Amino acid sequence: MKQTSREGRASVFQYEGIPAPGQLVPLGLQHVVAAVVGIVTPAILVANTCNITGSDRTLLIQVSLLVTALATLIQLFPIFGRIGARLPVVMGISFAYVPTLLAIGGQFDLPTILGAEIFGGIIAILFGIFVKQIRVFFPPLVTGTVIFTIGLSLYPTAIKYMAGGAGTEGFGSMKNWLVAIVTFLVVVILNNFSKGVLKLGAILWGMIVGYVLAFFLGMVSFDAVSEAGFFQVPMPLHFDISFNVSAIISLGIVYVVNAVQTIGDLSSTTMGGMDRMPTDKELQGGIIAQGIVSIVGALFGGLPAATYSQNVGIVTVNRVINRAVFAFAAIILAIAGFVPKFSSLLTTIPQSVIGGATVSVFAMITMTGMRMITSENFTMRSSTVVGLSVALGVGITQVQDCLQGFPQWVTTVFGSSPVVVTAIMAIILNLALPKDAPVQESKSV
């Protein structure tokens, strides 16, 4: 029996139907606010690394918004019966890939990233098809270790941005640090001392405050906005696509890890909002859609997609699962994606503002990994898996030229991003080390 509100509309606590506009609009906008920074910032980071400027930089942000809208709609309204989870989730451009994307972009270029992304999408599709068989290799200990490392590896990026962006004029200046610290403080204060939309949108509000301060300090230029048009449909293959085996391997491993993370997010969504675990069909559909969207997005210049844990968190708190709410959020993002004026406005955000806001995001990613690691008994075996995997993954990338005696492809795969070595080591150690003896409850005498 369907739930309905007093106005005769569908309840926001049921999946089907359309709730009253007074509920639909604010609840949908809440998801937009929670996701928008995570959608556009990876594109800005990659554009900076690959030296992409002007209209192409704006286009990357446009496509990020459109890919997120498309991915979310497919998850809500599956196509061909198998592509999409049919669950209330937001999926889009993800921070989780950023360390590897920046490593590939720094050594090669954007076309190499897009080529590796196409193969990564294929890997995600295969993972989704065989999710029941593969899932055993990725318990929370392994997945948490990798996510923990992703967070750690992003900290230097945040600090460089807080200082103004490496290689830019005024890098490390007091002006940059002032803007970054004010942004950072607003985010921390709202996250810990506010409620409702202020708390949910803490990162967005922090960036707005930092942006205003940067504007009055003369750090914002609107030249790109004046040159941008009011409407544009991105065309496929605007950016070249090239393939490099080492880049494909590096990003492919990260795709596998993020497919496991998608399982966790879908499970959190159904447990928090529907009081059940996701079915195998839902998991398969969600991960296959993740892969297909990444392939399609790469053709237009979009970056890899994943589920948004922050939006999952909203579902677990308010238990709103009506897909019309999520569809409304996706439509808002799509409209914004077709407007270059809006996308170019986002390119005017100073790097110090981005750094001050994203350091909190990266910290949350790290702590998400830590929570997964400690979700089960943390034993000496667990400590060995985590400690050795992170030590080798982070250590190798921190020591420049430590792999110079190997072929160049080895350095690209294993020395560019700590995520790859950490993931491989965590899987191997988890399989090789003897399992802990089951904990036996003491019997009462």
pLDDT value of residue 384: 93
In this predicted structure, the answer to whether residue 310 has a pLDDT above a threshold of 70 is no
In this predicted structure, the answer to whether residue 255 has a pLDDT above a threshold of 80 is yes
Average pLDDT, the chain: 84
Q: Which two tokens stand for residue 102?
A: 């920046």
Q: Which two tokens stand for residue 415?
A: 């020395």
Q: Of 47-56, 143-152, 227-236, 368-377, which one has max mean pLDDT?
A: 47-56
**Which has the higher per-residue pLDDT, 300 or 375?**
300
In this predicted structure, the answer to whether residue 70 has a pLDDT above a threshold of 80 is yes
In sequence order, the 6+-apart residues with CB closer than 8 A to the CB of 400 are: none
Per-residue model confidence as pLDDT tens digits over 215-224: 999 888 887 7
244 in Cβ contact with 367 (< 8 Å): no
**83 phi/psi in degrees, rounded to 5:** -100, 100
In sequence order, the 6+-apart residues with CB closer than 8 A to the CB of 444 are: none
- Give the chain's length: 445
pLDDT value of residue 414: 79
In this predicted structure, the answer to whether residue 234 has a pLDDT above a threshold of 60 is yes
Q: Measuring CA to CA, which residue among 312, 304, 303 is closest to residue 264?
A: 312
Would you call 403 helix, strand, or coil by DSSP? Answer: coil
**Which has the higher per-residue pLDDT, 47 or 444?**
47
In sequence order, the 6+-apart residues with CB closer than 8 A to the CB of 291 are: 120, 121, 122, 123, 124, 125, 126, 127, 128, 255
Q: Which two tokens stand for residue 211?
A: 């942006």
pLDDT category at 444 given cuts 50, 70, 90 is very low
In this predicted structure, the answer to whether residue 363 has a pLDDT above a threshold of 60 is yes
Mean pLDDT over residues 391-405, rounded? 85
Q: How many CB atoms lie within 10 A of CB 334?
A: 17
Per-residue model confidence as pLDDT tens digits over 163-179: 887 767 788 889 999 99
In sequence order, the 6+-apart residues with CB closer than 8 A to the CB of 239 are: 56, 110, 111, 114, 301
Torsion of CA 357, 358, 360, 361, to 10 degrees: 130
Cite the DSSP H helix spans in 50-173. Answer: 54-76, 98-107, 110-129, 131-134, 140-162
The residue extents of the domains of the chain are 21-170+219-351+363-432
Q: Which two tokens stand for residue 424?
A: 């491989």
pLDDT category at 334 given cuts 50, 70, 90 is very high
In this predicted structure, the answer to whether residue 144 has a pLDDT above a threshold of 70 is yes
Which residue do the tokens 């990003």 mark? Answer: 251
Mean pLDDT lowest among 7-16, 321-330, 426-435: 7-16
Per-residue model confidence as pLDDT tens digits over 88-129: 999 988 877 888 898 899 888 999 999 999 999 999 999 999
Per-residue model confidence as pLDDT tens digits over 239-251: 999 999 989 998 9
In this predicted structure, the answer to whether residue 142 has a pLDDT above a threshold of 70 is yes
**Which has the higher per-residue pLDDT, 256 or 291?**
291
Mean pLDDT over residues 414-420, rounded? 78
pLDDT value of residue 200: 64
Mean pLDDT lowest among 100-114, 286-300, 347-361: 347-361
In this predicted structure, the answer to whether residue 299 has a pLDDT above a threshold of 90 is yes
Count of helices and strands (H, E) across the chain: 19, 2
In this predicted structure, the answer to whether residue 253 has a pLDDT above a threshold of 70 is yes
pLDDT value of residue 157: 79
pLDDT value of residue 308: 80
Q: Of 21-30, 52-61, 104-113, 339-348, which one has max mean pLDDT?
A: 104-113
